[in-house]
Structure 1
Amino acid sequence: MAGRVLSERRGATLVLTLDNPARGNALDGDMLAALATAADDVAGDRDLRAVVLTAGGERAFCTGADIGAWGSLDPVAFGRQWIGDGHRLFDRLAALPVPLIGALNGATFGGGLELAAVCDVRIAAPHALFALPETGLGVTAGWSGLQRLGRLVPQALLREMALTGARLTAARLEAVGFLNAVAEDPLAHALAIAQRCAGLAPRAVEATRLVLNAAAGEGREAAIDGLAGMMVAMTEDSRAGREAFAAKRPPRFTGD
């Protein structure tokens, strides 16, 4: 896939790899666009059961937004384009119809930590560090990271990270429940979880993810509409309505 994001299908699992290790897999415009394309592909693939998100190299999962991509933007472009593009992408990833599993193979800073917060399950390497360094750069976390992290880690810990730029270890974030596990090979661990997902009923998993997201305040309106739509679309009345429309006659509803 263009834009320094590699895509590899492994059975019913799609592995997406951020592939710019020379720059700590920092997110730039091309990478955001490639992830958006991947999200579209996932949404249209009925045979897919899980997505694993990881990165190239061993030093970093993602060190945040590439300052070269946004550092020269004027305030209006920064807010409307850069922040807006990231928001839309992260919301799309959060709304995927399949579980998103993060294999965090190294430093996970700033926008990288916000990206990790979108995942349903997070596995980290023992040497991985986590930080929100934005205030040291004169900006704030801009891709809903503080809101999502506020639902995933204790407030005291989040404030330490956001207000001081502290770098926290994988062990500390596993202890508070942000990480599901710390593993020497986070990708292998993530793939094993994806394999378990593949053995479950796909529409039940999709509906469960919608409900979990709604309970956490993630896309509540879309979740309600989506669940209602799926339920009604399975009824005989829905079929009768579509057939009547195609035949240009009044529908005959039975309540089934």
Structure 2
Amino acid sequence: MSYNNILIEQDDNITTITINRPSKLNALNRETLSELHNAFVEIEGDKTTRVIILTGSGEKAFVAGADISEFSDFEVKEGTALAKQGQKLVFDFIENLSIPVIAAINGFALGGGLELAMACHFRIASDNAKMGLPETSLGVIPGYGGTQRLPQLVGKGKAMEMIMTARMINADEALKVGLVNYTVTQEELLPLAENLASKIIQNSPLAIASAIKAVNAGFKDGVNGYDKEIKQFGKCFGTDDFTEGTTAFLEKRKANF
């Protein structure tokens, strides 16, 4: 499948998706969101990708936000549909993907851009990165999961502050509050992402998929995360990966997943 606004590169079991709208600081428009959804569906179905790295083109922005020109004239019904469709097709879809997704934040990650990064399973950032949810300065609130995922990551008080003040935080502060796992130079960002991906690939993809489901369950209303963990733990015992992993351990060799 060909895309206008994203680039896809596969190297062995690692697939890198680059949002490629540099003239717009990689802002998310409807076409880009649709392409992201289609790309993740395609990658999930090819069975060769074990880790996805999501980043932005250039050195200025991961994603500088949503393309405001597309919805500045929306009314209540259209705004509601915008958030609902976006969450379902992209943000929730990424969060619940069975393949780990690493966000490599290479610059501004604002509004929908930060929400996109937060939907990924974890985040790393270049030292020039700036992150924030400035929606209240536009008379709206984050609508792609930002009011839910940011408190989960940084705590309620810090999330409230960031959303209410609409201010950006730098990479060092993002690391301090737990929004990102690592900060490195721009040159070191993708190599670090690839290094982390290579470590993930050494482990069972089926177990990782189960872990994603179990961890996510703990953040969902009405779902008992402990029960989900028990069920996913039990399911692992019926997989070839469990047989290979335990056999390799007992035979004192590296598992071949």
The TM-score range, normalised by the shorter chain, is: 0.7 to 0.9
Aligned residue number for residue 231 of structure 1: 235
Q: Give the whole-Å Cα distance in 2 for the aligned partners of 1:86 and 1:205.
A: 26
Q: Give the whole-Å Cα distance in 2 for the aligned partners of 1:109 and 1:232.
A: 38
Aligned residue number for residue 245 of structure 1: none
TM-score (norm 1): 0.84
Asked whether the 8 Å contact 1:95–1:219 carries over to 2, the reply is no
Q: Give the whole-Å Cα distance in 1 for the aligned partners of 2:130 and 2:152.
A: 20
Alignment of 1:160 onto 2:164:
no
Equivalent position amino acid for 1:20 in 2: R
Q: Give the whole-Å Cα distance in 2 for the aligned partners of 1:198 and 1:162.
A: 36
Asked whether the 8 Å contact 2:218–2:224 carries over to 1, the reply is no
Aligned residue number for residue 172 of structure 2: 171
Aligned residue number for residue 60 of structure 1: 61
Aligned residue number for residue 103 of structure 1: 104
Residue 186 of structure 1: which of 175, 189, 194 is its match? 189
Aligned residue number for residue 87 of structure 2: 87
Q: Give the whole-Å Cα distance in 1 for the aligned partners of 2:165 and 2:139.
A: 13
Q: Give the whole-Å Cα distance in 1 for the aligned partners of 2:171 and 2:4.
A: 29
Q: C-alpha root-mean-square deviation of aligned residues, in Å?
A: 2.6
Q: Deviations over 1:87-116 (max 9, x none)?
A: 112111111111110100001101111111
Asked whether the 8 Å contact 2:108–2:129 carries over to 1, the reply is yes
SS where residue 153 of structure 2 aligns? coil
Equivalent position amino acid for 2:203 in 1: L
> Displacement, 1:190?
0.8
Equivalent position amino acid for 2:132 in 1: A
Aligned residue number for residue 138 of structure 1: 139
Asked whether the 8 Å contact 1:64–1:112 carries over to 2, the reply is yes
Aligned residue number for residue 203 of structure 1: 206
Q: Deviations over 1:195-214 (max 9, x none)?
A: 11111111111111111111
Q: Give the whole-Å Cα distance in 2 for the aligned partners of 1:34 and 1:206.
A: 23
Cα–Cα, structure 1 residues 84 and 158, in superposed 2: closer, same or farther, change >3 Å?
Answer: same
> Displacement, 1:40?
0.9
Q: Deviations over 1:36-95 (max 9, x none)?
A: 101211321322211000000111111111101211333312211x21221112111111
Gaps of 5+ in 2: 240-257
Q: Give the whole-Å Cα distance in 1 for the aligned partners of 2:100 and 2:45.
A: 15
> Displacement, 1:219?
10
Asked whether the 8 Å contact 2:206–2:236 carries over to 1, the reply is no
Q: Which 4+ residue blocks in structure 1 deviate beyond 4 angstroms?
A: 218-225, 232-235
SS where residue 195 of structure 1 aligns? helix
Cα–Cα, structure 1 residues 62 and 233, in superposed 2: closer, same or farther, change >3 Å?
Answer: same
Q: Give the whole-Å Cα distance in 2 for the aligned partners of 1:93 and 1:215.
A: 17
Asked whether the 8 Å contact 2:151–2:158 carries over to 1, the reply is no
Equivalent position amino acid for 2:213 in 1: L
Equivalent position amino acid for 1:63 in 2: A
How many pairs are equivalent? Answer: 234
SS where residue 200 of structure 2 aligns? helix
Aligned residue number for residue 114 of structure 2: 113
Equivalent positions of 1:210-229 (< 5 A) are 210-217=213-220, 220=223, 224=228
Cα–Cα, structure 1 residues 33 and 218, in superposed 2: closer, same or farther, change >3 Å?
Answer: farther
Equivalent position amino acid for 1:84 in 2: K
Q: Larger Rg: 1 or 2? A: 1
Q: Give the whole-Å Cα distance in 2 for the aligned partners of 1:54 and 1:134.
A: 22
Q: Give the whole-Å Cα distance in 1 for the aligned partners of 2:221 and 2:107.
A: 27
Aligned residue number for residue 24 of structure 2: 23
